[in-house]
Amino acid sequence: MPKILVCGRGGCGKSTLTAIAANTLSKRGEVFVLDADESNLCLSNMLGIDSEKTLMGYLGGKAEVKKALLSFLKSEGKEKTPMFINELTFEDLKKFSSWKDNIGFIRTGKIEHGMEGCACPMGAVTREFLKKLKVKDNQYVLVDTEAGIEHFGRGVHEAIDLVWLVIEPSFESIALCEKTIGLISEGRHAKPYKVILNKVSDESKLELERLLAEKKIKVNGFLPFNREISKANLKGEKLTIEDLNLINSILQ
Ligand SMILES: Nc1ncnc2c1ncn2[C@@H]1O[C@H](COP(=O)(O)OP(=O)(O)OP(=O)(O)O)[C@@H](O)[C@H]1O
């Protein structure tokens, strides 16, 4: 079953869609959510899973990860990256991530201190983790990414099966979607993708569809603007919404 990367511009609704998908898919099987956005603060609230656990912590902290990456670079790629040496199953994940009602959660890492350096090691950790993660038929992996396209440069999509491109009604969102489609359609790591319009009204939905059709981009799913979503987010509450029609339309 798929490992899905959720992408789009800042604030377009990546975390919201991730939480709705997790709620929906957890009725079918187990869902593991990886928060790969080092600046994200609220996905755990949306999922209702209170957890500070990180993959960086599991690997011994940022200094250990940096050491591992440096030795990999020095060996000119000959030495295996000594992060996640063995394959990981959902059973393994349960030993070091947080779980509630069929949904597991962990962050890649967080920026904890000013001047601590860039987030590149976290991109490498996300990529290597996804490469080692084995997923069975009734299991799903949702990866909430940081805004923009930097993760594609870091190759985070290498072991991904499907990319969800979230668009909100804005010119920048459409431009970013077009750029992302170009990036994920390149070479041997080309990935299938689905396009989801979020925060739409009846009017903006038609206009967005028209603009995207001009660029030959097909829309696969819609998530209307919903006051329940913004209200829950304002209070930092768990998002309880499920949407089977939407998720079915963007899963395959
Ligand atoms: N369909 C919707 N209806 C109403 N509000 C929405 C909807 N989708 C998202 N929002 C609101 O938009 C804001 C941004 O949503 P969200 O945090 O999911 O975006 P994001 O893409 O993950 O953001 P970031 O790039 O900062 O990680 C939140 O306040 C959220 O409640």
**99-153 confidence digits (pLDDT tens):** 999 999 999 987 666 666 666 778 888 998 999 999 999 999 999 998 887 777 7
Q: pLDDT tens across 205-250, in order?
A: 999 999 999 999 999 999 999 999 999 989 999 999 999 999 999 9
Annotate 61-77 with DSSP letters as a single string: -HHHHHHHHHHHHHTTT
Tell whether ligand 1 has an atom less than 6 A from the beta carbon of residue 211: no
Spatial contact of 104 and 33, defined as CB atoms under 8 Å apart: yes
Query: pLDDT tens digits, residue range 164-210?
Result: 999 999 999 999 999 999 999 988 889 999 999 999 999 999 999 99
Q: Can you tell me the distance from the alpha carbon of 29 to that of 99, in angstroms, rounded to the nearest whole number?
A: 13
- DSSP string over 183-244: HHTSGGG---EEEEEEEE-HHHHHHHHHHHHHTT----EEEE--HHHHHHHHHTPPP----H
Ligand 1, atom 23, lies closest to the CA of 11
pLDDT over threshold 90, residue 28: yes
Instruction: Return the structure tokens found at 6.
Output: 């959720």
Ligand 1 contact, 24 CB (< 6 A):
no
Cα(229)–Cα(13) distance, rounded to whole angstroms?
10
Q: Cα(31)–Cα(140) distance, rounded to whole angstroms? A: 5
Token code pair at residue 175:
């431009």
Q: How far is the CA of 94 from the centre of ligand 1 (A)?
A: 28
CATH architecture of the region 3-251: 3-Layer(aba) Sandwich (3.40)
Nearest ligand 1 atom, CA 8? 21
Ligand 1 touching residue 15 (CB < 6 A) = yes
**ipTM exceeds 0.85, yes or no:** yes
Q: CB of 123 within 8 A of CB of 130?
A: no
Task: Say which residues have a Cβ less than 8 Å from residue 145's Cβ, sequence separation at least 6.
Answer: 5, 6, 7, 14, 36, 37, 151, 156
Q: Under 8 Å CB-to-CB from 86, ≥6 apart: which residues?
A: 132
Across the chain, mean pLDDT equals 89
Q: Kind of pairing, strands 193-200 and 162-167?
A: parallel
Would you say residue 81 has pLDDT above 60? no
**Ligand 1 contacts CB of residue 9 (under 6 A):** no
199 Cα nearest atom in ligand 1: 1
- Determine if ligand 1 sits within 6 Å of the CB of residue 230: yes
What is the Cα–Cα distance from 29 to 22, expressed in whole angstroms? 10
Give the number of the atom of ligand 1 that is nearest the alpha carbon of residue 10. Answer: 25
What six digits make up the tokens of 7? 């992408």
36 lines ligand 1 (CB under 6 A): no
The predicted structure's pLDDT at residue 136:
95
| Beta bridge partners of residue 144, listed in sequence order | 6, 35
